Structure 1
């Protein structure tokens, strides 16, 4: 599957959105990738993530871990295709943790599974939590890589997207004042009342 096919699937499933979006990092963007829209179709999830599996299948992986919410289905599907155990982390009191009786064996080689990586905030928090438990994170596997900087680990993605991101105070969309700001993601912003 080529990047063009991945883009086609993102568009067919209404996962590639255009407008004015508040990202979980607090930054603003004119485009947003809502991978939950892709993941609601098992065949699309299988097809898109098979491109990532091709990139990581020869890595020595013991465990696939996805941060909740976006990484839960991704970790399951990657684990299914790789025939590896798949679990997830979640925030409790604002801290990313492994819960529900999930365990990391000392020295376990872990791939983090994400839907979209933009700033890497959830990925880096998950990596820290897993390393505190004795795991060794070898990279992150995702549907869409939106990063424009090094997050300190290899990224294996179905597609690399170059989408503009702006600090809230310098957002040209806000300055135009024509498109309302929307927060489509799952992370809450207590300081913004969202």
Structure 2
């Protein structure tokens, strides 16, 4: 599956949006990939995650399990694990930090691939690895459906991306005037208030 094929799945679901968006990283961007509009369609999600599973296995071999950061990556993490034939776990925030909860356990030495949906900076990957390592798991790599950093995200581990695109993003104090003139939306869930 090519980058164009991946973006066609997003366009087909109405998930490739243009405007002024504040990303989970806090950076501003003129484009947002509303991945949940893709994930509502099992057939689209299956096509994407099957291709991602194939890339994971080609790069890292078959892992023992997949771990995804909640909430956004739970669906693609599960579907990718299904194609690999391995368990799917997720980490979720508790007091601001990712933790294994819900009786999830990782066997010491288990080979783990962390699966994300869309990345910009790789911050969620770096955070998600902490509870995996604390449980004794061995992170062999990270994978995502879309790397919107153009390959510049620093995840800290080898990365497999199904699609790599170079979408501009700006620090809050570097937003260009034409983008700043558009009202900003925060479509992600990272900063939702409980």
Q: Distance in 2 between matches of 1:121 and 1:100?
A: 23
Deviations 1:107-150 (A, max 9, x none): 11001111111111111111111101111111112111123233
Counterpart in the other structure of 1:111: 113
Counterpart in the other structure of 2:173: 169
Displaced runs of 4+ in structure 1, greater than 6 A?
Answer: none
The question of whether the paired residues in 1 share the 8 Å contact of 2:120 and 2:153 is answered with no
Q: Distance in 1 between matches of 2:144 and 2:20?
A: 23
Gaps in structure 1 of 5+ consecutive residues = none
The question of whether the paired residues in 1 share the 8 Å contact of 2:122 and 2:154 is answered with no
Post-superposition offset of 1:56 = 1.4
The question of whether the paired residues in 1 share the 8 Å contact of 2:67 and 2:90 is answered with yes
Counterpart in the other structure of 1:54: 54
Counterpart in the other structure of 1:153: 157
Deviations 1:161-194 (A, max 9, x none): 1100101011015x6543101001011167xxx9
Counterpart in the other structure of 1:8: 8
Counterpart in the other structure of 1:82: 84
TM-score (norm 1): 0.92
Counterpart in the other structure of 1:181: 184
The question of whether the paired residues in 1 share the 8 Å contact of 2:122 and 2:153 is answered with no
Gaps in structure 2 of 5+ consecutive residues = none
Gap change, CA 1:134 and 1:180, over 3 Å in 2: same
Q: How many residues align?
A: 190
Q: Distance in 2 between matches of 1:177 and 1:186?
A: 22
Counterpart in the other structure of 2:123: 121
The question of whether the paired residues in 2 share the 8 Å contact of 1:145 and 1:155 is answered with no
TM-score (norm 2): 0.92
